[in-house]
């Protein structure tokens, strides 16, 4: 397979949430599968900067897609391209450009990983794709209702071969790695009350000016821009969501002294790998903040961590969400919890049973590397397009 990529490639570090890891994962996964990738000299991540600036977005789209179509025409004439694989937000999609690529005989596939968090229904912009790669089990219905061609495959995760080796060291830690958000804060405060000692790593936890917003898509600016932001907010979350936003402004989200003692700071990449592999129990959290849901009854979906941690050989305990049992044999390859009480019970059990931890490490890693790898997903896409 020869795959043309649009996966947030950029030579610039834009002031937006982390994105560069997607390019790293997908390129390495393609190469490990024995396939090839192609790309053009354009900045795909830049398009994320202009979701609320029509003029800049229009200019970016015109320049980016014109260059891309010309580059694909040239590369396709030299060596046929199997399919165009993108990770595009709706506002980045140029329907005519996609159709031009399709007229060359090149199918177009779009991956999107935040369907549950971002959309009430499958975006109309995604209708143009020959195939939509949908990783969240809960989002399948959105694409079925829209009658879009889609395939449910794991999120594209790749770990270097040297990081797949079994660790000879195991600490006594129960660890979590992830940035601070309201739902994680509430969960770990409750977990600590249950008597579970957790080492928490990640950004934002020690920042007293923690931003309680649940969406970084609503941009700030002048009065006119703020009004446009309010309109956009109401479209996304509705009046009920707006009321929840106002209510949360008056709530306290400070870290307790007990939780503060568990905070270990943001790890380096090497530390991240070591902590995940060597902890007695590595935790996953699948709930997420959204004004669409009450703060005490959050929604969930399986995250990238649900693939990465087992690939690294972790003894993995993650939050149950619909579809997780389609990915793993629960109790044999990974363990799950549904609330703080069940998390405490599962942690206590695992800490007492070293043999069980070893079984989960081995079986979970085998499942993730052999069934949830990028090369396996690309093969399934190829078969779906055939």
- pLDDT exceeds 90 at position 225: no
pLDDT at residue 216, as a whole number: 41
Domains of the chain in sequence order: 2-152 (3.40.50.2300), 161-212+253-371 (3.40.50.2000)
As a dihedral over the C-alpha atoms of residue 42, residue 43, residue 48, residue 54, rounded to 10 degrees, the angle is -50
Among 302, 309, 304, 248, which residue's Cα sits nearest to residue 277?
Answer: 309
Contact 213, 221 (CB under 8 A): no
Rounded Cα distance, 144 and 111, in Å: 16
Residue 108, phi then psi, degrees to nearest 5: -115, 125
Q: pLDDT grade, residue 210 (50/70/90)?
A: very low
| Angle made by CA atoms 180, 138, 27, in degrees to the nearest 5 | 70
Rounded Cα distance, 203 and 177, in Å: 9
Contact 266, 171 (CB under 8 A): no
pLDDT at residue 17, as a whole number: 85
pLDDT at residue 211, as a whole number: 45
Average pLDDT, the chain: 91
* DSSP E strands, the chain: 2-6, 36-38, 83-86, 108-111, 131-134, 150-152, 174-177, 199-201, 281-283, 287-288, 299-300, 316-319, 335-337
pLDDT at residue 220, as a whole number: 42
The three-state secondary structure class of 152 is: strand
Rounded Cα distance, 285 and 302, in Å: 9
The three-state secondary structure class of 106 is: coil
Rounded Cα distance, 303 and 120, in Å: 18
pLDDT at residue 75, as a whole number: 97
The three-state secondary structure class of 204 is: coil
Contact 85, 4 (CB under 8 A): yes
pTM of the model: 0.89
pLDDT per residue over 337-380, tens digit each? Answer: 999 999 999 999 999 999 999 999 999 999 999 999 999 999 99
Rounded Cα distance, 372 and 354, in Å: 26
pLDDT per residue over 48-78, tens digit each? Answer: 999 888 999 999 999 999 999 999 999 999 9
- pLDDT exceeds 90 at position 208: no
Element containing residue 321 per DSSP (H, E)? none
Own/partner long-range contacts of 21-27 (Cβ < 8 Å, ≥24 apart): 22/87, 22/156, 24/158, 25/156, 25/157, 25/158, 25/374, 26/85, 26/156, 26/158, 26/374
């Amino acid at each position: 397979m020869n795959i043309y990529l649009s996966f947030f490639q950029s030579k610039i570090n834009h002031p937006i949430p982390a994105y560069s890891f997607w390019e790293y994962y997908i390129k390495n996964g393609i190469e490990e599968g024995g396939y090839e990738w192609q790309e053009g000299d354009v900045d795909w991540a830049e398009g994320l900067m202009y979701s609320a600036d029509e003029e800049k977005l229009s200019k970016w789209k015109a320049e980016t897609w014109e260059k891309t179509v010309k580059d694909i025409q040239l590369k396709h004439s030299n060596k046929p391209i199997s399919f165009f694989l993108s990770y595009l937000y709706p506002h980045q999609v140029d329907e005519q450009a996609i159709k031009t690529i399709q007229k060359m005989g090149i199918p177009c596939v779009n991956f999107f990983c935040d369907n549950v968090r971002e959309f009430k229904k499958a975006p109309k912009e995604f209708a143009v794709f020959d195939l939509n790669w949908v990783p969240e089990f809960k989002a399948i219905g959105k694409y079925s209702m829209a009658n879009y061609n889609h395939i449910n495959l794991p999120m594209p995760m790749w770990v270097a071969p040297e990081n797949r080796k079994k660790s000879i060291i195991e600490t006594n830690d129960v660890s979590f790695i992830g940035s601070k958000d309201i739902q994680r804060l509430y969960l770990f405060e409750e977990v600590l009350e249950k008597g579970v000692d957790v080492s928490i790593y990640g950004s934002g936890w020690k920042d007293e000016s923690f931003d309680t917003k649940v969406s970084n898509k609503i941009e700030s600016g002048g009065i006119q821009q703020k009004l446009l932001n309010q309109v956009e907010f109401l479209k996304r979350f509705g009046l009920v969501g707006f009321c929840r936003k106002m209510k949360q402004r008056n709530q306290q989200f400070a870290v307790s002294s007990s939780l503060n003692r568990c905070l270990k700071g943001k790890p380096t990449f090497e530390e991240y790998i070591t902590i995940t592999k060597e902890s007695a129990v590595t935790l996953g959290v699948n709930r997420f903040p959204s004004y669409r849901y009450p703060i005490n009854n959050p929604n969930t979906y399986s995250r990238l961590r649900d693939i990465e941690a087992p690939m690294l050989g972790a003894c993995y305990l993650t939050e149950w969400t619909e579809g997780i049992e389609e990915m793993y044999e629960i109790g044999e390859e990974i363990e799950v919890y549904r609330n703080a009480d069940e998390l405490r019970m599962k942690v206590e059990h695992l800490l007492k049973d070293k043999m069980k931890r070893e079984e989960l490490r081995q079986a979970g890693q085998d499942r993730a590397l052999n069934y949830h790898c990028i090369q396996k997903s690309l093969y399934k896409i190829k078969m779906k397009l055939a």
